[in-house]
């Protein structure tokens, strides 16, 4: 009874011009939502330690992992994690990218260099951050890097207390 | 447990911006799916609605919002959601409706209007990133894909040219799909020369932003056999979620897709997937994802999917056709509807109703897979005709 190709599927495509020239009625509604999130126990400590210029993780003795970012429970063993452990502010590039787009898809001239950093002392991986003081063509997976911190008086307890990671 | 079949399907055009509202798109797909198997709304026992985050549309509770157009009036309605994985999670969810014995006929509708969010829906995706550790870095959604693609390429020594072949194949396949938004004949060179968005992702490596809807009708065995002489059995379902701590994972291999696939294969009695699956619709929002997912589905060795592509194995007339529909890269990507479009494609292909897209050789067993969230979710269905 039905052949998927012998009919024209329903749907009325609109062009940008139709919108811009007001040929179709539209309504704009800017959303205004403000949130104030609780950090949670684990990330609260992580951010506080970033303000101190240090990276902290949690340990799970059952699966023997050092977890960065820290969490108060191990999601694999499903038990509370056992303790805090400071890790290094150095590591290696696990993967990277060179972004020519901003968060809202607008284009930028000066690309953003971003990477997942495997933090020394953590069991696997680490977190997302910027790379700096490096040319895009010089970046490679496995490259050793070290955190460049904001001066202590400028730190606020944010992931941005680290400015970026640079080759070491 | 009783056997469950897909007995009808409907699909709208996929468009950058549709005049139709989300509810109207749902109505168009749902009514078409019912008409395709000769049913009316009175025959529908339950409804499952799939749609991506409410944030895209600025509408609260989209399942409820879409209900009038999705056939949900006065009926038990559920709305499961798994990001891009939704399109295949929907039939899995509907399978439960019917296999449990609670309902005989379930109407499944997946809809998306990504055109609504301005200036670009990528902005609505910002909330996919961790509030504290990632959003202050002002990330773009595409970073996730670029980082995963880079790791995949470097781990196995795969080149961009090899990956570009997927865009070429799928956009060409889509020329034969009446719903296609971005079907065209392109070359590897076109892909390599297209604008770099977030390296190594170029513009022609990415599926578009789309509006569209898809719907299928699912029925219990006895009802299915009365409605059609070619019911397409949902013989295997599988789904799996990986940790949200994506920066602690190995991005070179989608373990959650493997786990979902194993679950579906076990249920469907598939022991040698590469031999027993005739036709595959893996999720291809980006060119490399088709390859990444083929490996997660155990249909190619780790790092081996590019060679299958280069050798022509995944062409429509190849040994294992992949994305004969044209996929997301060619047909379009209205998030929840895209995966269901793939299920509809397997449905039509196994019944010999795919017209110019028909894969030769009378395929009997097909697989559709979708993926979503922060590279977390794998959803898989194995479908079969007698």
Strands (E), chain A: 55-60, 65-67, 73-74, 79-80, 83-87, 90-101, 107-119, 126-130, 144-149, 162-167
**Closest by Cβ to A99, choosing from B14, B143, B356:** B143
Q: Can you give the pLDDT at residue B54?
A: 83
- Bridge partners, B279 (sequence order): B366
**Closest by Cβ to B147, choosing from A104, A116, A126:** A116
CB contacts under 8 A, A 86-145 vs B, are 94-106, 114-116, 122-130, 136, 141
Measured CA to CA, the distance from residue A89 to residue A148 in angstroms comes to 9
CB contacts of B248 in chain A (<8 Å) are 67-68, 122-126
Q: Which is more confidently placed, B310 or B61?
A: B310
**Is A9–B11 a contact, with Cβ atoms under 8 angstroms apart?**
yes
CB contacts of A115 in chain B (<8 Å) are 147
User: Which tens digits make up the pLDDT trace of A22-34?
Assistant: 888 888 888 888 8
Q: What residues does each domain of chain B span?
A: 4-118+208-384
Structure tokens at B81: 């959601």
Indicate the pLDDT class of residue A5, thresholds 50, 70 and 90: low
Indicate the pLDDT class of residue A106, thresholds 50, 70 and 90: confident
Flag whether residue B271 sits within 8 Å of chain A, measured between CB atoms: no
Tell me which of 3.30.200.20, 3.40.1010.10, 3.40.47.10, 1.10.3470.10 is the CATH number of domain B4-118+208-384. Answer: 3.40.47.10
User: Which tens digits make up the pLDDT trace of A122-147?
Assistant: 998 899 999 999 999 999 999 999 99
Q: Can you give the pLDDT at residue B375?
A: 77
Chain B CA closest to residue A1: B36
**Is B251–A115 a contact, with Cβ atoms under 8 angstroms apart?**
no
Q: Which of A1, A10, A76 to mutate to test the interface with B (most CBs of B within 10 A)?
A: A10
Structure tokens at B177: 């799909």
**Is A69–B154 a contact, with Cβ atoms under 8 angstroms apart?**
no
Measured CA to CA, the distance from residue B214 to residue B332 in angstroms comes to 12
| Nearest alpha carbon to residue B370 among B381, B382, B354 | B381
Q: Can you give the pLDDT at residue A4?
A: 53
Q: Judge whether residue A35 has pLDDT over 70.
A: yes
Indicate the pLDDT class of residue B208, thresholds 50, 70 and 90: very high
Structure tokens at A5: 């190709």
User: Which tens digits make up the pLDDT trace of B230-259?
Assistant: 999 999 999 999 989 999 999 999 999 999
User: Which tens digits make up the pLDDT trace of B282-337?
Assistant: 999 999 999 999 999 999 999 999 999 999 999 999 999 999 999 999 999 999 99
Q: Can you give the pLDDT at residue B130?
A: 94
Asked if B324 and B170 touch (Cβ cutoff 8 Å), the reply is no
Measured CA to CA, the distance from residue A34 to residue A69 in angstroms comes to 25
Q: Can you give the pLDDT at residue A1?
A: 34
Q: Considering chain A, what is the average pLDDT of its residues? A: 93
User: Which tens digits make up the pLDDT trace of B151-203?
Assistant: 999 999 999 999 999 999 999 999 999 999 999 999 999 999 999 999 999 99
Q: Can you give the pLDDT at residue A2?
A: 42
Asked if A131 and A115 touch (Cβ cutoff 8 Å), the reply is yes
Q: What residues does each domain of chain A span?
A: 41-167
Query: Between A and B, how many CB-CB pairs are < 8 A?
Result: 189
Q: Is B72 exposed, middle or buried (0-12, 13-18, 19+ CB in 10 A)?
A: buried
Inter-CA distances, B192 with B4, B168, B188, B197, Å? 44, 11, 6, 12
Q: Judge whether residue A116 has pLDDT over 80.
A: yes
Strands (E), chain B: 4-11, 46-50, 77-78, 105-113, 196-199, 201-202, 211-220, 232-241, 279-281, 365-372, 377-384
Ranges A142-151, B56-65, B73-82, most confident: A142-151
Give mean pLDDT, residues B347-376: 95
SS3 of residue B72 by DSSP:
coil
Measured CA to CA, the distance from residue A110 to residue A130 in angstroms comes to 13
Flag whether residue B332 sits within 8 Å of chain A, measured between CB atoms: no
Strands (E), B245-302: 279-281
Measured CA to CA, the distance from residue B201 to residue A109 in angstroms comes to 17
Q: Can you give the pLDDT at residue B23?
A: 96
Q: Can you give the pLDDT at residue A6?
A: 53
User: Which tens digits make up the pLDDT trace of B83-110?
Assistant: 999 999 999 999 999 999 999 999 999 9
**Is A114–B249 a contact, with Cβ atoms under 8 angstroms apart?**
no
Question: Would the pTM of this model clear 0.80, i.e. be above it?
Answer: yes
């Amino acid at each position: 009874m039905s052949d998927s190709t012998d009919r024209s599927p329903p749907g009325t495509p609109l062009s940008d011009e139709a919108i811009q020239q007001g040929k179709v009625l539209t309504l704009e509604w800017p959303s205004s939502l403000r949130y104030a999130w609780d950090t949670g126990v684990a990330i609260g400590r992580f951010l506080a330690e970033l303000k101190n210029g240090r990276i902290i993780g949690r340990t799970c003795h059952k699966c023997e992992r050092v977890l960065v970012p820290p969490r108060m429970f191990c999601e694999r063993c499903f038990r509370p994690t056992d303790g805090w452990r400071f890790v290094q502010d150095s590591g290696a590039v696990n993967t990277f990218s060179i972004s020519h787009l901003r968060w809202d898809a607008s284009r930028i001239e000066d690309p953003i260099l971003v990477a997942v950093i495997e933090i020394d002392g953590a069991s696997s991986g680490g977190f997302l951050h910027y790379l700096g003081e490096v040319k895009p063509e010089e970046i490679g997976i496995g490259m050793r890097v070290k955190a460049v911190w904001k001066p202590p008086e400028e730190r606020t307890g944010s992931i941005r207390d680290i400015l970026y990671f640079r080759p070491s | 447990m009783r056997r469950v079949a897909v007995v009808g399907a409907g699909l709208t055009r996929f468009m950058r911006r549709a005049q139709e509202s989300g509810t109207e798109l749902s109505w168009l797909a749902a009514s078409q799916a019912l008409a395709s198997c000769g049913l009316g709304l009175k025959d529908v026992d339950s409804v499952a609605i799939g749609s991506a985050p409410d944030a895209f549309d600025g509408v609260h509770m989209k399942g409820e919002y879409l209900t009038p157009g999705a056939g949900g009036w006065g009926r038990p309605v559920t709305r499961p959601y798994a990001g891009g994985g939704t399109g295949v999670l929907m039939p899995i969810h509907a399978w439960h409706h019917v296999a449990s014995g609670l309902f005989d006929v379930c109407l499944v509708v997946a809809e998306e209007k990504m055109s609504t969010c301005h200036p670009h829906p990528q902005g609505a995706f910002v909330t996919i990133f961790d509030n504290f550790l990632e959003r202050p870095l002002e990330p773009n959604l595409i970073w996730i894909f670029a980082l995963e693609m880079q790791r995949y390429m470097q781990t196995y020594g795969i080149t961009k040219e090899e990956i570009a072949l997927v865009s070429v194949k799928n956009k060409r396949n889509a020329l034969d799909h009446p719903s296609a938004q971005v079907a065209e004949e392109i070359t590897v060179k076109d892909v390599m020369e297209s604008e770099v968005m977030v390296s190594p992702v170029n513009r022609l490596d990415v599926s578009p932003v789309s509006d569209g809807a898809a719907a299928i009708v699912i029925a219990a065995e006895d009802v299915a056999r009365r409605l059609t002489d070619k019911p397409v059995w949902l013989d295997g379902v599988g789904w799996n979620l990986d940790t949200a701590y994506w920066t602690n994972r190995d991005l070179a291999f989608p373990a959650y897709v493997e786990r979902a696939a194993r679950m579906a294969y076990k249920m469907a009695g598939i022991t040698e997937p590469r031999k027993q699956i005739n036709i595959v619709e893996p999720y291809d929002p980006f060119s490399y994802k088709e390859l990444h997912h083929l490996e997660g589905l155990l249909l190619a060795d780790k790092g081996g999917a590019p060679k299958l592509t280069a050798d022509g194995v995944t062409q429509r007339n190849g040994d294992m056709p992949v994305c004969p529909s044209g996929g997301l890269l060619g047909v379009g990507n209205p998030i929840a509807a895209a995966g269901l479009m793939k299920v509809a494609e397997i449905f039509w292909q196994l019944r010999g109703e795919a017209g110019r897209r028909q894969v030769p050789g009378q395929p009997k067993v097909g697989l559709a897979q979708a993926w979503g969230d922060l590279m977390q979710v794998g959803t898989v269905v194995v479908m079969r005709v007698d």
